[in-house]
Amino acid sequence: MTRTGATTPVDRHRYLRDGYLHLPAYFTAAEITDLRAAIELASALRAGTSSLDKGSMTFYSLLFPLSEDLQRFISQARLVDAACSLLDDDVWVRWDQAVAKRDGAPTFPWHQDNGYSLLRAEHLQAWVALTDAGPDDGGLWVAPGSHRRRHRHHHAGAHVEVDEAPEAEVAVEAHRGDLVLFSSRMVHRTTPNHSGRDRWTYVIEYLGVRSLDPFLAPPHFEASRDRQPAPRFTRWLPGRRSLRQQVRYLPDRIRVRRQEGSWHRGM
Ligand SMILES: O=C(O)CCC(=O)C(=O)O
């Protein structure tokens, strides 16, 4: 089957079945070099540190609002096409982050990203390997099939962790330029980096436009219209206008307000 640059029907079937897709060599070396330069510039503009930082692991979050280059990257046709197809909706980007897992960085424990975002809707994580990221260099491990239900989490300091570690896991042997698309409900972790090199990844979170993030203030970055790239900041996505969505999140908003400051809500 010809790859159009995004995803094929077979990819979609595998994504729905396993909860993730590993697409090797999705980006060229030149694209990754440009992406890293844009991340570096935006990170320099972002003040402060993240409460998710752990040992020699550093998170640089919400970079795209600071960079037109990143806005172009996250709304490029191939990514938008893949995100719309896998979420079956037009999409907006609620979050991005570059993560440096430097030599010696520890495990980042098993979790679903919904455990951090506190969203009820599934979102799509587009995980770009900016360096090699295999099992020995702080790479990603996934539990195929675990995305079919919400798992209970407990707090572990600023982090959350699923109550029960999955029984079956798969290491994703990612190389620089690979793309891993996975469901925010996929239980995943990353293991320590013992490689002597720094591991860098960039993660973009796509959410269907009918889904609200009640915790994030507008404007929001709309990435597609009619499933074509249509990048723009807007205050009024369909999910935000929906009374049903607003009411659905009332109990969560009250709970989060009570917990505010005790941990980090993010990806
Ligand atoms: O980048 C990492 O090593 C862990 C971060 C992570 O699991 C995530 O972004 O959900």
Q: What percent of the chain has pLDDT over 70?
A: 95
Q: How far is CA 148 from the centre of its chain?
A: 18
Q: Note whether residue 253 is domain-resident.
A: no
> Is 259 inside any structural domain?
no
Residue type, 43: S
* CATH code for position 211: 2.60.120.620
Nearest to 97 by CA among 67, 61, 125: 61
> 2 lies in a domain?
no
- The C-alpha atoms of residue 140 and residue 199 are separated, in whole angstroms, by 11
Is 204 in a helix, a strand, or coil? strand
Cβ neighbours for 44, distance < 8 A, ≥ 6 positions apart = none
Residue 254 lies in a domain: no
Report yes or no: 42 and 63 within 8 Å, Cβ to Cβ.
yes
Q: Measuring from atom 9 of ligand 1, which residue has the nearest CA?
A: 267
Best of 184, 203, 204 to mutate for ligand 1, by most ligand atoms within 8 A of CB? 203
The reply to whether ligand 1 has any atom less than 6 angstroms from the CB of 113 is: yes
* Residue 47 belongs to some domain of the structure: yes
Atom 7 in ligand 1: residue holding the nearest Cα:
189
160 within domain boundaries? yes
Q: Which residue has a Cα nearest atom 1 of ligand 1?
A: 99
pLDDT of 4? 47
pLDDT of 2 higher than 50: no
The verdict on residue 244 lying in a domain is no
For 16, the domain range is 9-238
What is the whole-number distance in angstroms between the Cα of residue 90 and the centre of ligand 1? 25
Q: Which of 41-55, 143-157, 239-253 is the most confident on average? A: 143-157
Query: pLDDT averaged over the chain?
Result: 91
> Phi-psi category of 138—alpha, beta or left, where left has phi over 0 and alpha has psi -120 to 50?
left
Residue 124 belongs to a domain: yes
Averaged pLDDT, 66-77: 98
Mean pLDDT, to the nearest integer, of 203-207? Answer: 98
* Domains: count for the chain: 1
